[in-house]
Amino acid sequence: MNIVEPVQRNRIHPYKFNLWIAIGSMLMMFAGLTSAYIVKRNQSNWVDYELPAAFWFSTAAMILSSVTLILAKRSFKEKAMQAYRRYVFVTLILGTLFVLLQVYGFSTMWKSGLTHNSTVSVSFLYVIVGLHALHVAGGLVALILLALKAFNSKVKTYSSIPVELVATYWHFVDLLWIYLLVFLVMIR
């Protein structure tokens, strides 16, 4: 007679699994867009352009927001709720600053005549960075919900899953922006 012992399996949380599937889909979309950018770049009507300085400042805001979210996650796990609230709030402010700097950068491009339909190259820039901005907006909504939950004194649950999900997604859009910025600087 064989004795079968139950095996404890380390399973990924379903929400985390779904997030990783979504991230994989987003990676494929941006890989396709950047590949198309490379192919279209060889056309005769391709025009070089300068990225606005605001994009570099927005990058600094995005990187800092990832740092503050790491600190927020750590504070949450240590049950240091005051620090957690502060770091989530600062992350939200930095994420909003990122978006505002992006808008400012595009407004300077627009004023200089580089509109979304002026050239193929600038159209690609608007599409790629615009889609990234939509993903950041989704991350801001998640951060707002996280902040509302953090500042709600009636909530006493300490599940780290929502914090981990938001952090994973936010770090993804951060790394995606760095990739896109490097790509746009190197491949113009």
CATH of the domain at 152: 1.20.120.80
**pLDDT, mean of residues 59-86:** 94
In a domain, 170, yes or no: yes
Tally of structural domains, the chain: 1
In a domain, 19, yes or no: no
Q: What is the mean pLDDT of the chain?
A: 88
pTM for the whole structure: 0.86
In a domain, 139, yes or no: yes
In a domain, 101, yes or no: yes
Cα end-to-end span (Å), the chain: 70
In a domain, 59, yes or no: yes
Q: What is the pLDDT of residues 96-144, one digit of tens each?
A: 999 999 999 989 988 887 766 667 778 888 889 989 999 999 999 999 9
According to the model, what pLDDT value does residue 111 have?
86
According to the model, what pLDDT value does residue 39 have?
87
Quote the domain boundaries for residue 144: 52-186
In a domain, 10, yes or no: no
